[in-house]
Amino acid sequence: MSNNGHKIELPSSIVIRDLAQMIEKSPIDLIKKLMTNGVMATINQSVDFDTAAIVVAEYGFEAVPEVIEEASKEEAGEVPLWRQMIAGEDGAQLKPRPPVVTILGHVDHGKTSLLDAIRSTEVAAGEAGGITQHIGAYQVEKKGRLITFLDTPGHAAFTQMRARGAQGADIVVLVVAADDGVMPQTREAIAHAKAARVPIMVALNKIDKANANPDRVKQQLAELELVPDDWGGSTMVVPVSAKQKQGIDDLLEGILLVADSVEIKANPNGKVIGTVIEAELDKAKGVLATLLVQNGTLEASDIVVAGTAYGKLRAITDFKGKPIKKAGPSTPVAVMGLSDVPSAGDIFQVVGSEKEARIIVNERMETAKTLSQTKKKVSLEDLFANVQAGEAKELNLIVKADVQGSLDPIVNELNKLGEGEIGLKILHAETGNIGNNDVMLASASKAIIIGFNVQADVDARRMAEKEGVDIRLYEIIYRMTEDIEKALNGMLEPKVVEKTLGRATVLQVFTASKFGRVAGCKVTDGELRRGARVRLFRGTDMIYEGDLSSLRHEKEDAKEIRTGFECGVGFKSFNDIQSGDQLVCYIVEKSG
């Protein structure tokens, strides 16, 4: 990268559109540059700092990391909400707790197979496309110590939990395939883990494959500031084969080593606080919620408040479904007894009585009501009336998912896709199968129904066919977001781009009975083209803009006149021409 270019500050991740605006270039040009560098991206997609730096360097810019005030706040002690809530705990009472680990990485690189190998249960075969779709949690034992794994559908859910202040993970294990290397989703996962300031270790998977190239992957990781420990860096890289169940013990030992280097403690006798991992409504059992205890000890019959849900726990079971009486820090449990379905990432706490729980929930509901009133309130009637309002295009969606733990990250990812020129509005998001009410709403609001791990009822399908409603069912999150992104990009209006054809100088002015005043010009650059647009400048002032109505060379009509030749130019309804005037000829094209 040249040091002679202009310096430009870039964040760790930037959307193509924003990058184009920053360096005042066409997004289409940027996308082409990326393609020549082997990166496929759309106008609304993000690229990491390194990729952006390579592209801007081709335009003469030197990229430097942006100094973000928010990061300095985190360094100054901005901590997850649950940690803030236990800040008053007696330091002498704090004891080491099992590390909580989440596994991130590119699709098809073996996240689910690795999780399967770790817990030695056959889950990969039951997951569509080998992707883990539900946010779950479980524990394994190694050298007499427990390790808790959060089983997430990827960095979307990981980020969603962070956004709620939960940040349940203490360590991120990044899965990278030895035969495939660092991919765009790998880069995104690294960015999210770095933003969360969580230690990262790498599971180098598929090392048993003949085309595995561990050194190439390590080089790619080093370029992303994850320098392998055997290269003198601080990132632990553990070779594994999930399929052959090789290196699993080494990975678990590595997790424990990383955990020992980080202070992971809690007070098992302190305030009971934790995070909701997932929740759903079961017709037979009521509300089922998966909780991760992060401080204190949760006991059966405790009264719990989670978001705007509360209730006395009727039963606690461990991740294997076995009933237990209590659960300490870093323990994932399934509970029954809550009054409503909390959201994934909600902080839960134990309170002294149901009366206290109701007071807390009422206060939260009042706060939420006040916040919603400050925003524009939209009823169903308003939605129906405003579908066609204005000229701005919007893609309306109704989202249905099987569990709340899947719904939240899906909604979060879709909202991010709608931050570009084309608006995306989620009219309704809920757990459960697609029914007649969903189709009626979609029909009235010209919306598309997106279903994730759900089915459409027979009656709903018939109604959808009759009403012309599009129902799209998915079993893999990234395919859903990919399709929506394509739909958004397909709706983008072609960009209008001005292209300069040529320049000329007026040498002399003639009067012709047929054309009026004609400028005798010499083309100094490019070409003049009949039918194109033209601007006439006198000094720095533009005195005319319009069509080039006539173009002649030696008394003959011409379609175009190139550099070095002289010609006669006529302007539509304009005669104020003087020698020395400068002429710019251009066309307007639609691009993108």
> Cα(31)–Cα(148) distance, rounded to whole angstroms?
41
Query: How confident is the model at residue 344, as a pLDDT?
Result: 76
Query: How confident is the model at residue 556, as a pLDDT?
Result: 86
Average pLDDT over residues 247-257: 91
**What is the DSSP track for 173-232?**
EEEEETTT---HHHHHHHHHHHHTT--EEEEEE-TTSTT--HHHHHHHHHHTT--BGGGT
Q: What is the band of 376 on the pLDDT scale with cuts at 50, 70, 90? A: very low
> Cα(331)–Cα(293) distance, rounded to whole angstroms?
5
Query: How confident is the model at residue 84, as a pLDDT?
Result: 63
Chain-centroid distance, C-alpha 404: 19
pTM of this structure: 0.52
Average pLDDT over residues 146-164: 61
Q: What is the band of 503 on the pLDDT scale with cuts at 50, 70, 90? A: very high
Q: Are 521 and 515 in contact (CB under 8 A)?
A: no
Query: How confident is the model at residue 67, as a pLDDT?
Result: 52
CATH of 380-491, picked from 3.40.140.10, 3.40.50.300, 3.30.470.10, 3.40.50.10050, is: 3.40.50.10050
Helix (H) / strand (E) element for 411: namely helix 404-417
Residue ranges of the domains in the chain? 6-67, 98-263, 273-372, 380-491, 495-591
Higher pLDDT: 444 or 538? It is 538
Q: Return the percentage of the chain with pLDDT > 90, whole number.
A: 19
Instruction: Select the highest-mean-pLDDT range: 76-90, 157-171, 512-526.
Output: 512-526
Q: Are 422 and 487 in contact (CB under 8 A)?
A: no
CATH number for the domain formed by residue range(s) 273-372: 2.40.30.10
Higher pLDDT: 77 or 370? It is 370
Q: What pLDDT digit, counting tens, does each position of 435-466 carry?
A: 877 887 777 667 888 999 888 877 788 788 77
> Cα(501)–Cα(525) distance, rounded to whole angstroms?
8
Mean pLDDT of the chain: 78
Same fold, 273-372 and 380-491: no
Is 71 a residue whose pLDDT tops 70?
no
Q: Are 254 and 238 in contact (CB under 8 A)?
A: yes
Higher pLDDT: 504 or 84? It is 504
- What's the Rg (C-alpha) of the chain? 31
To 10 degrees, what angle do helices 404-417 and 477-491 make? Answer: 30
Strands (E), 320-440: 326-327, 332-336, 347-351, 394-401, 423-431
Helix (H) / strand (E) element for 151: namely strand 145-151
Class of domain 98-263: alpha beta
Query: How confident is the model at residue 373, as a pLDDT?
Result: 52
- Domain 495-591: homologous superfamily in CATH: Translation factors (2.40.30.10)
Instruction: Select the highest-mean-pLDDT range: 190-199, 333-342, 548-557.
Output: 333-342
Instruction: Select the highest-mean-pLDDT range: 24-38, 238-252, 434-448.
Output: 238-252
> Cα(40)–Cα(539) distance, rounded to whole angstroms?
45
> Cα(329)–Cα(7) distance, rounded to whole angstroms?
48
End-to-end CA distance of the chain: 29
Strands (E), 466-540: 471-474, 495-512, 516-529, 533-538
Higher pLDDT: 286 or 488? It is 286
Identify any residues that bridge with 451 across adjacent strands, giving them in sequence order: 400, 473
Out of 27-41, 49-63, 162-176, 295-309, which region has the weakest mean confidence (pLDDT)? 162-176
Query: How confident is the model at residue 190, as a pLDDT?
Result: 77
Q: What is the band of 76 on the pLDDT scale with cuts at 50, 70, 90? A: very low
Query: How confident is the model at residue 5, as a pLDDT?
Result: 53
